[in-house]
Structures are given as structure tokens and as C-alpha cells.
């Protein structure tokens, strides 16, 4: 038997919310980064769900695009984070506010 | 026709002279630069004579020729080309501008000899002649306005030619600012004409004006009259002309007596068809202003001590005559008087320059006297000028003034009376001048004799530059007299005097009122004025009586002056010279007070309150608003990633709400 798509959607919504809240309240750059990944994957889950429900392959294609973009983003993001930690040991996101107006 | 196509050469030669002096003036120096400038204007005069004969070969009605040079301003409905209009009126003006101009250029070579900026002076004179020719030869209002402003600018340069002297610089500024008021009249008149008629060409404007209501035409006429009043020194804008005497004397003769100041009268004659279309009341205003100016300036001239100031007020007065003639519809008389006045007034000014030159830069008539022995040529020519301006037959001034007065008689008897009174005063103040300068005791020998030792200096001392210039000249013309004695002038100065004297004597033959056949000028100018010229037939006896009255007025004036000034030791501040007249009825002081008092208040308010608070306030306010707003908005940029993320999240929520709301409703 198959699980009803509502469950998947509820799970995706839950994951997304966790990611969003995590991004907003955490200060650790790495954790915030993981939260972004969490949100991306929550969206991926909705895409797949709807692709199955609506029997439309485009949803799964979109997921691949998201994965590719996420991979590229990880490379750039981790590169930035490594560069930051090279200069200072205990940087939180709030310490990095050089662009303050 | 081909000859007339060459008429662009008339203004071209002075322009070339100007350009040559700009490039090589300093190198040519004294006196070559003067000769070059004189030649430029002289050739221009010869060309004008050629154009005159070419025009003479056409029949009366065909004497109207346009030479298109190039498209000048083409914007929307406005299409103005730089074209010259060759017709009897413009050629008459060109002839006397270049003719008198040549003589005055020649005279200036002697007068300006030794001046540091000798070539610069002739550069300005040539530029002036060019501008004046553009003004009179233009076939549309805009090109005429170009010349109008050009002569104004040259007038400014030349009045303050000796700009190191405070009074000369101030006089230049005064002339410029006063003329500006008139220029606004010209401009607004031009705008109104364009909006009413749709063209700025004379021919099209005159055609179109017939479709315009009399009120609009009157408004146009009065606006142009404001311009003319500024240029031709009419009440209430005359104040700059007496001060303009700060310039070198040849400038006073050329610009402020013979040519530029007549530009206003010329303009009014040029637009005679518009005057004809206007309400008669507008013409009455013009005539009244002219008559009043003539009388006013004549009274002031009776009490001046400065030899040039007398002539300056006399010029204002004579210009008043011309304006009176225009306002009376006697355009030919106006032009006639303009031409004869150019001759005798240029003569008088050059004669006074010769006197000033010979007297080592003395301008106070009360320090002169008995000069006829010392400078016989100047004396003889000055006498002719005196008789001409006084209106003694058969000199030129008599005939032209008679024409003006006849025009006034036919139009308005009251204004005619004012004209006659002015004629009497004219004869009086000119005789007073002649007696003071050329007769009586040799008062320059001891100032105490003239009773002036204890009185303050009334005239401005001539500038050091000129004094230095003339010290040189007086050295070479000393001919045995002691340094303080007057001396004669070099030939370049006396030859123009003699020629002008000849013209002042015989110029009356241009328009003798005996029969239709002898009124050459009227016959010649007729095509230019067309229907605006209303022919009149006055019985010969009436003309004769009017002429006799005018002559009697002149003789009475001379007799009065003889009784009061001849052989009498002149004193200052006698009853004959009321202070109120010396001060020009206080008008100058009144203007000064108006400008200095309320004018200054208004200007201060505008500068320090309105400009600072409202204009600057608006500009600074916009700046402050942006600055303040930016200062507040920059707080949004916290630099914290979480607050940006919150912004993004909030935005998404908002968008979702909108989308969901739409789907539901």
C-alpha cells in the first residue's frame, strides 16, 4: 500500500520550517548552512511528491536541477566558510557584519 | 539686380576691419590701425553710394529688394533667415551711418593719438559700425535685434573705454542697464508680434498686421516704443545719455549723437505700417512723450556748465523732436531731421572735442572764452553747427525742424506749441554755449576772474590716460604759445569738421518745402512707408507763417542769450541757471533714490530672504530630504545575515498571502 501524498507534504513542510527557523535563530555559520540544505531538500521532497501524484516527470527534472545548484552552492559556501575560519577561530554569523549600513 | 546682390558688402567691410584689428591691431598700432578702420568704413560708404545709385535706377515701386544670405533660425513655426532689405529707407540710413562714420573715424585718428589702447578703440568703432549696419539693413526684427544689441554692447564698451576712471565705468553700466529695460520692450513686442502675425519678417508682419485688432497693434507699437525710448533716450529712460559723455568725444559724436541713438526713431519709422494699424491714441502717446522729452531736455541744457553735457541734453531734446514727428505721422520729417541732426550734432560734438583737445582737457565752459582767436577753424565750423541747430534759415536744421513742426501742427496744436517753445530754448542754450566758449574774456588765464576759484569743481577731470595722450599732441601743435594757451587741432580733426559744416549748411536741399518737385527726400522715401504716409496739402501761406514763427522763436532765443551771456562775466549759480535744471529736474536723483531705497529693499529681500529661504530652501530641502531618508533607510542594512533572512522569509509570507488570497477570492 502507498502512503498518501499529504504525509510527504506535511513532512516537507515540517523540514522546511525547521530549516527556516534554524537559519533565523542559529549563529553558527555551519549550522546555518545545513539549515539551508534542509530547506532545499524539503522543497525537493515536495517536487517529487507532486511528480508522483500528478504523474509528471517535470517535477523530478526540477529536483535534479536543484541538486546540481545545491552542490555548486555547497562548494562556494564551504569555500567561504573555510576562508573565514582560517582568519578567526570562533566566528559566528553575527560577527560578520562588515556590510552594515 | 546683380549690383544690389552685392549689398552684403556694406556691413561686411567694417566686419573685416574689425576682424583685422582683432588679429593685428596691436601690431598696426598708432596711427595705422586707425587708418585701416577708417578705410573699412570708407569703402563701406562707397559701396552704399553704389547701392544707392543701383536702387535709383529702379522705378519707385520696385525699390524694394531682399538679399538672402543664409538660413539663420529655423525652429518650428519660426523661420528667420539672415537677409538684408534694401529699400530707400535702409539705404538712406546706411549712407549717413557710413558717411558720418567715416568722418568720425578720421577725426578719431587725431583725437585718440597717443592713447595706449588706440587700436582697441578703432576695433570697437568698426564693430559698432557693423552692428549699426546690420540693424538698419536687416529685413526682419530678429536680425535687427542682433544689430540693436550689438550697438548697445559697443556703446557700453566705448562709454567705459577709459575704464580705469570710476565714473566712466559707472556710466557704461548705467547705459547698459537702462538700455536693457528698453530691450525688454523690444523683445516682448517681438514676441507679441510673432504670436499675432506668425512671422518676424518686416514684409510679412506688415501684411499680417491688417488682420490684427487695433488693440494688439497698439500694444505692439507701445512695446516697440519702450525699446525705442531706451535706445533713443526718451523720457523716462534718457538718464544714461548725459552720463554717456564719459566716453571719448568721437564716441559721443558717432554713437550718442549721430547714429545709435537714432536707432529707436529708425525702428519706429521702419514699422510705420504697424503704427498706422494701431489706435491713434498710441501715436498720441508717442508724440506726447517726444514733445515732453524735447522740452524737458532743452530746459536742462540751459543750465549745464560742461560743454559736452549741453550737447548731450541737446541730443536728447532733438531726439524728442524726431519722436514727436513719428508720433505725428510725419515719418519723412523724422528721417529728415535725423539726417540733418546727424550732420550738425556730429559737427558740434567734434567741435567740442576739438575745443577740449585744444584746451588741454578742460570741459567747463566757464573756464573757456574767446577761443575764436585761438582755433579759427573750430570756431567757424561750430558757428555753422550752432546756426543749424538753432533753426536759422537757410541752414539744414531750419528746414528739418520746420518739417517736424509742420507735422506736429497738423496732428496736435498743443504739441506744436511745445515744439516751438523747445525751438526757442534750443536757440538760447546753444547761443549761451557759443558765447561762453568762443566769445567774452579769456577766462582760462585766471580762474579767479571767472569767479570759480572758490566753487567746487563741477566737471569731472579728464582721465590721466587722455591727458597723457594729449600732452604729446599739444607738444607737437604748440606753435609758439605758452603751455596754457589753447592750440588748434591737426588736419585729421579739422577736415571732418569742415566737411560736416558744409553738410550742415546745405543738407536742407534734401527736402525743400517749396513745391512737390523739390521734396526729394519725401519722394525718395515714399515707397518705404507706402500707405502709412498720409499726404497732406497745406496752403503755402500757412507753411510760411509757421516757418516765420519758428524762425522768430529761434531769433528770440538767440537774442535772449545775447542779452544775458554775451560780454557778461558768467558766475556760477546765478538765477539764469536754477539748480533744479542743473540737476535735470532731480530725475536722476529720483531714480537713484528709487533704486537705492525701495529698489535696494526689494533686491535685498529677494536676495537674502526669497532667494535664500525659498529658492535655496527648495534646493537644500530636496537634498536634506534625500539625506535624511537615506540616513533612516541605512539602518535596514544591519549586516546580520539573520535579519536579511528574516526579510526574505517575511517577503515570501507576504507573497504567499497575496497569492492564496487571490486563489480563494
pLDDT for B16: 92
Sign of the four-CA dihedral B244, B247, B253, B255? negative
Segment B241-282, tens digit of pLDDT: 888 888 888 888 888 888 888 899 999 999 888 888 888 899
**Confidence band (pLDDT; 50, 70, 90) for A1?**
low
Which chain B positions have a beta carbon within 8 Å of A93's beta carbon? 640-642
Contact B642 A20 (CB under 8 A): no
pLDDT for B465: 42
Instruction: Check residue B84 and report its DSSP letter.
Output: E
Given a cut of 60, is residue B500 above it in pLDDT?
yes
**Span B618-633, mean pLDDT?**
92
- Nearest-CA neighbor of B340 among B498, B510, B494? B510
**Confidence band (pLDDT; 50, 70, 90) for B186?**
very high
Contact B637 A99 (CB under 8 A): yes
- Nearest-CA neighbor of B202 among B324, B367, B80, B69? B80
Which chain B positions have a beta carbon within 8 Å of A32's beta carbon? 641
A96 touches chain B (CB under 8 A): yes
CA distance A93 to B63: 94
Given a cut of 60, is residue B21 above it in pLDDT?
yes
pLDDT for B569: 66
Contact A20 B637 (CB under 8 A): no
Given a cut of 90, is residue B391 above it in pLDDT?
no
A81 touches chain B (CB under 8 A): no
Given a cut of 50, is residue B478 above it in pLDDT?
no
CA distance A43 to chain B (A): 14
Segment B60-118, tens digit of pLDDT: 677 788 888 888 888 877 888 888 888 888 998 999 899 999 998 998 888 888 888 88
If interface means Cβ-Cβ distance under 8 Å, which residues of chain B face chain A? 633-642, 645-646, 649
A17 touches chain B (CB under 8 A): no
Contact A101 B639 (CB under 8 A): yes
Put residue B573 in one of left, alpha, beta given phi > 0 → left and psi -120 to 50 → alpha.
left
Q: Which of A20, A23, A101 sits opposite B637 (nearest CB)?
A: A101
Query: B520-529 and B331-358 are packed helices; what angle lies between their axes, rounded to 10 degrees?
Result: 120
Query: Angle CA(B621)–CA(B623)–CA(B628) in degrees, nearest 5?
Result: 90
Mean per-residue pLDDT of chain B: 84
Range in A18-27, B400-409, B554-563, B582-591 the model is least confident about: B582-591
Given a cut of 50, is residue B466 above it in pLDDT?
no
Closest B-chain CA to A20: B649
**Confidence band (pLDDT; 50, 70, 90) for B455?**
very low
Residues whose CB falls within 8 Å of the CB of residue B104, separated by 6 or more in sequence, listed in order: B125, B250, B253, B254, B258, B346, B350, B496
Count of A-B CB contacts under 8 Å: 33
Closest A-chain CA to B636: A101
Distances from the Cα of B189 to the Cα of B34, B62, B195, B275, angstroms: 39, 29, 10, 13
Given a cut of 90, is residue B527 above it in pLDDT?
no
Segment B636-662, tens digit of pLDDT: 888 888 888 889 989 999 999 999 999
Alpha helices in B160-279 (DSSP H): 166-197, 202-208, 214-231, 240-243, 249-253, 263-270, 272-277
Distances from the Cα of B199 to the Cα of B78, B207, B528, B541, B595, angstroms: 7, 10, 19, 46, 37
Q: Which three cell numbers stand for residue A26?
A: 542559529
**Span B460-483, mean pLDDT?**
41
Please check whether residue B90 is in contact with residue B117, taking contact to mean a CB–CB distance below 8 angstroms.
Answer: no
Instruction: Check residue B477 and report its DSSP letter.
Output: T
A20 touches chain B (CB under 8 A): yes
Q: Which three cell numbers stand for residue B220?
A: 505692439
Which chain A positions have a beta carbon within 8 Å of B637's beta carbon? 99-101
Q: Which residue has the cell 498518501?
A: A4
Given a cut of 80, is residue A98 above it in pLDDT?
no
A38 touches chain B (CB under 8 A): no
What is the ipTM, given to two decimal places? 0.84
Instruction: Check residue B462 and report its DSSP letter.
Output: P
Segment B37-67, tens digit of pLDDT: 999 999 999 999 998 888 888 876 777 888 8
Q: Which of B636, B637, B646 sits opposite A24 (nearest CB)?
A: B646
pLDDT for B48: 92
- Nearest-CA neighbor of B291 among B432, B433, B423, B431? B423
CA distance B380 to B573: 30
Which chain B positions have a beta carbon within 8 Å of A94's beta carbon? 640, 642
Given a cut of 70, is residue B121 above it in pLDDT?
yes
CA distance A17 to chain B (A): 11
Asked if residue B31 has a cis previous peptide bond (ω within 30° of 0), the answer is yes
**Confidence band (pLDDT; 50, 70, 90) for B17?**
very high
Collapsing DSSP states into helix, strand and coil, what is residue A4?
A: coil
Please check whether residue B124 is in contact with residue B50, taking contact to mean a CB–CB distance below 8 angstroms.
Answer: no
The more confident residue out of B284 and B462 is: B284
CA distance B585 to B592: 13
CA distance B65 to B579: 53
Please check whether residue B133 is in contact with residue B147, taking contact to mean a CB–CB distance below 8 angstroms.
Answer: yes
Count Cα neighbours of B127 within 13 Å in the Cβ-side half-sphere.
22
pLDDT for B289: 92
A32 touches chain B (CB under 8 A): yes
A23 touches chain B (CB under 8 A): yes
A42 touches chain B (CB under 8 A): no
pTM for this model (two decimals)? 0.76
Q: Which of A25, A32, A97 sits opposite B639 (nearest CB)?
A: A97
Segment A21-71, tens digit of pLDDT: 998 888 888 888 899 999 999 999 999 999 999 999 999 999 999 999 999
Amino acid at each position: 500500500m502507498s502512503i498518501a501524498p499529504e504525509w510527504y507534504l506535511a513532512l516537507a513542510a515540517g523540514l522546511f520550517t525547521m530549516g527556516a527557523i534554524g537559519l533565523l535563530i542559529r549563529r553558527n555559520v555551519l549550522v546555518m548552512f545545513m539549515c539551508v540544505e534542509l530547506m532545499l531538500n524539503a522543497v525537493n521532497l515536495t517536487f517529487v511528491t507532486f511528480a508522483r501524484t500528478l504523474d509528471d516527470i517535470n517535477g523530478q527534472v526540477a529536483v535534479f536541477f536543484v541538486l546540481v545548484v545545491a552542490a555548486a552552492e555547497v562548494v562556494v559556501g564551504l569555500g567561504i566558510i573555510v576562508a573565514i575560519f582560517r582568519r578567526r577561530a570562533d566566528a559566528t554569523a553575527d560577527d560578520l557584519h562588515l556590510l552594515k549600513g | 539686380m546683380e549690383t544690389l546682390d552685392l549689398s552684403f558688402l556694406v556691413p561686411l567691410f567694417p566686419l573685416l576691419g574689425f576682424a583685422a584689428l582683432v588679429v593685428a591691431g596691436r601690431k598696426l598700432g598708432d596711427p595705422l590701425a586707425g587708418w585701416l578702420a577708417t578705410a573699412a568704413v570708407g569703402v563701406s560708404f562707397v559701396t552704399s553710394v553704389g547701392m544707392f545709385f543701383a536702387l535709383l535706377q529702379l522705378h519707385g515701386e520696385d525699390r524694394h529688394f531682399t538679399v538672402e544670405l543664409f538660413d539663420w533660425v529655423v525652429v518650428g513655426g519660426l523661420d528667420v533667415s539672415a537677409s538684408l532689405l534694401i529699400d530707400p529707407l535702409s539705404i538712406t540710413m546706411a549712407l549717413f551711418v557710413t558717411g558720418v562714420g567715416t568722418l568720425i573715424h578720421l577725426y578719431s585718428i587725431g583725437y585718440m593719438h597717443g592713447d595706449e589702447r588706440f587700436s582697441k578703440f578703432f576695433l570697437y568703432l568698426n564693430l559698432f559700425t557693423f552692428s549699426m549696419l546690420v540693424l538698419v539693413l536687416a529685413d526682419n526684427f530678429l536680425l535687427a535685434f542682433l544689430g540693436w544689441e550689438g550697438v548697445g554692447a559697443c556703446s557700453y564698451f566705448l562709454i567705459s573705454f577709459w575704464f580705469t576712471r570710476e565714473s566712466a565705468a559707472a556710466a557704461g553700466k548705467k547705459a547698459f542697464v537702462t538700455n536693457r529695460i528698453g530691450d525688454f520692450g523690444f523683445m516682448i513686442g517681438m514676441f507679441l508680434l510673432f504670436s499675432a502675425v506668425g512671422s518676424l519678417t518686416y514684409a510679412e508682419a506688415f501684411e499680417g498686421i491688417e488682420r490684427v485688432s487695433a488693440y494688439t497693434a497698439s500694444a505692439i507699437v507701445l512695446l516697440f516704443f519702450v525699446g525705442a525710448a531706451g535706445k533713443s533716450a526718451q523720457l523716462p529712460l534718457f538718464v544714461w545719455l548725459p552720463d554717456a559723455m564719459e566716453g571719448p568725444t568721437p564716441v559721443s559724436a558717432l554713437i550718442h549723437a549721430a547714429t545709435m541713438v537714432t536707432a529707436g526713431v529708425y525702428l519706429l519709422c521702419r514699422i510705420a505700417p504697424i503704427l498706422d494699424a494701431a489706435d491713434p491714441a498710441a501715436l498720441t502717446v508717442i508724440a506726447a512723450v517726444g514733445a515732453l522729452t524735447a522740452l524737458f531736455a532743452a530746459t536742462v541744457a540751459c543750465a549745464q556748465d560742461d560743454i559736452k553735457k549741453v550737447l548731450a541734453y541737446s541730443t536728447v531734446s532733438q531726439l524728442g523732436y524726431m519722436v514727436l514727428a513719428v508720433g505725428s505721422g510725419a515719418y519723412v520729417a523724422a528721417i529728415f531731421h535725423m539726417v540733418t541732426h546727424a550732420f550738425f550734432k556730429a559737427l558740434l560734438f567734434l567741435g567740442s572735442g576739438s575745443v577740449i583737445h585744444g584746451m588741454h582737457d578742460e570741459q567747463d565752459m566757464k573756464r573757456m572764452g574767446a577761443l575764436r582767436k585761438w582755433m579759427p577753424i573750430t570756431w567757424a565750423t561750430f558757428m555753422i553747427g550752432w546756426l543749424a541747430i538753432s533753426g536759422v534759415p537757410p541752414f539744414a536744421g531750419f528746414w528739418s525742424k520746420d518739417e517736424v513742426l509742420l507735422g506736429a501742427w497738423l496732428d496736435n496744436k498743443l504739441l506744436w506749441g511745445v515744439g516751438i517753445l523747445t525751438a526757442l530754448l534750443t536757440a538760447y542754450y546753444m547761443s549761451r554755449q557759443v558765447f561762453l566758449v568762443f566769445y567774452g574774456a579769456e577766462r582760462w588765464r585766471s580762474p579767479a576772474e571767472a569767479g570759480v576759484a572758490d566753487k567746487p569743481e563741477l566737471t569731472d577731470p579728464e582721465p590721466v590716460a587722455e591727458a597723457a595722450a594729449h600732452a604729446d599732441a599739444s607738444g607737437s601743435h604748440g606753435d609758439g604759445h605758452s603751455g596754457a594757451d589753447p592750440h588748434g587741432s591737426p588736419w585729421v580733426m579739422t577736415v571732418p569738421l569742415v566737411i560736416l559744416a558744409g553738410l550742415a549748411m546745405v543738407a536742407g536741399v534734401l527736402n525743400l518745402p517749396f513745391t512737390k518737385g523739390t521734396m526729394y527726400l519725401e519722394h525718395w522715401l515714399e515707397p518705404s512707408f507706402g500707405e502709412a504716409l498720409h499726404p497732406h496739402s497745406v496752403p503755402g501761406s500757412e507753411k510760411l507763417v509757421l516757418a516765420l514763427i519758428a524762425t522768430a522763436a529761434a531769433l528770440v532765443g538767440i537774442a535772449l542769450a545775447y542779452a544775458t551771456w554775451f560780454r557778461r562775466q558768467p558766475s556760477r549759480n546765478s538765477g539764469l541757471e536754477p539748480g533744479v535744471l542743473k540737476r535735470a529736474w532731480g530725475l536722476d536723483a529720483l531714480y537713484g533714490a528709487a533704486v537705492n531705497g525701495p529698489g535696494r529693499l526689494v533686491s535685498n529681500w529677494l536676495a537674502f530672504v526669497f532667494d535664500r529661504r525659498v529658492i535655496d530652501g527648495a534646493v537644500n530641502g530636496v537634498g536634506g530630504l534625500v539625506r535624511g531618508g537615506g540616513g533612516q533607510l541605512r539602518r535596514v542594512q544591519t549586516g546580520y545575515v539573520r535579519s536579511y533572512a528574516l526579510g526574505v522569509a517575511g517577503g515570501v509570507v507576504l507573497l504567499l498571502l497575496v497569492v492564496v488570497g487571490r486563489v480563494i477570492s
